[in-house]
């Protein structure tokens, strides 16, 4: 079955430290991949997306993600975390060419220590 797994439920990092949030997918073919952020009391916001081509994609707020087909992964990274990055992060995937149902991970909650 198609699925998206975020292995880390909760992560705490210090401000200024680097960050990597993991995402693995299980699909028959390479899906479209997305990372969203949900800040407290706010709606979901798209950070970045991967459809095809360059496997390293740049997003907003200094985030990037790398698609690795061999590992079925699409990990989110940021070289230096800011306190305002504390939020819930969701990885999502959908089959290429079908926009009907995004499959979502359960999310990773990020806390940032001053």
Partner 1 sequence: GAGVSQSPSNKVTEKGKDVELRCDPISGHTALYWYRQRLGQGLEFLIYFQGNSAPDKSGLPSDRFSAERTGESVSTLTIQRTQQEDSAVYLCASSLNTEDPPLHFGNGTRLTVT
32 binds partner 1 (CB under 8 A): yes
Identify whether the C-beta of residue 20 lies closer than 8 Å to the C-beta of residue 7. Answer: no
Identify whether the C-beta of residue 110 lies closer than 8 Å to the C-beta of residue 85. Answer: yes
Residues in region 82-111 near partner 1 by CB under 8 A: 90, 92, 94, 98-102, 104-107
44 binds partner 1 (CB under 8 A): yes
DSSP letters, 19-59, are EEE--EEE-SSPPEEEEEEE-TTS-EEEEEEE-SS-SEEE-
Whichever of 17 and 106 has its CB closer to partner 1, that residue is 106
Whichever of 17 and 96 has its CB closer to partner 1, that residue is 96
Whichever of 65 and 92 has its CB closer to partner 1, that residue is 92
- Output Rg (C-alpha) for the chain, integer angstroms: 13
- What residues line the site for partner 1 (CB under 8 A)? 32, 34, 36, 41-46, 49, 90, 92, 94, 98-102, 104-107
């Amino acid at each position: 079955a198609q699925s998206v797994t975020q292995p880390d439920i909760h992560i705490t990092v210090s401000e200024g430290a680097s960050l990597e949030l993991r995402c693995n997918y299980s699909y028959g073919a390479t899906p479209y991949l997305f990372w969203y952020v949900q800040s407290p009391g706010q709606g979901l916001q798209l950070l970045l997306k991967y459809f095809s081509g360059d496997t390293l994609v740049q997003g907003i707020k200094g985030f990037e993600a790398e698609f690795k087909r061999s590992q079925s992964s699409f990990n989110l990274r940021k070289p230096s975390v800011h306190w305002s990055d504390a939020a819930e992060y969701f990885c999502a995937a959908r089959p290429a060419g079908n926009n009907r149902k995004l499959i979502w991970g359960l999310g990773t909650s990020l806390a940032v220590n001053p």
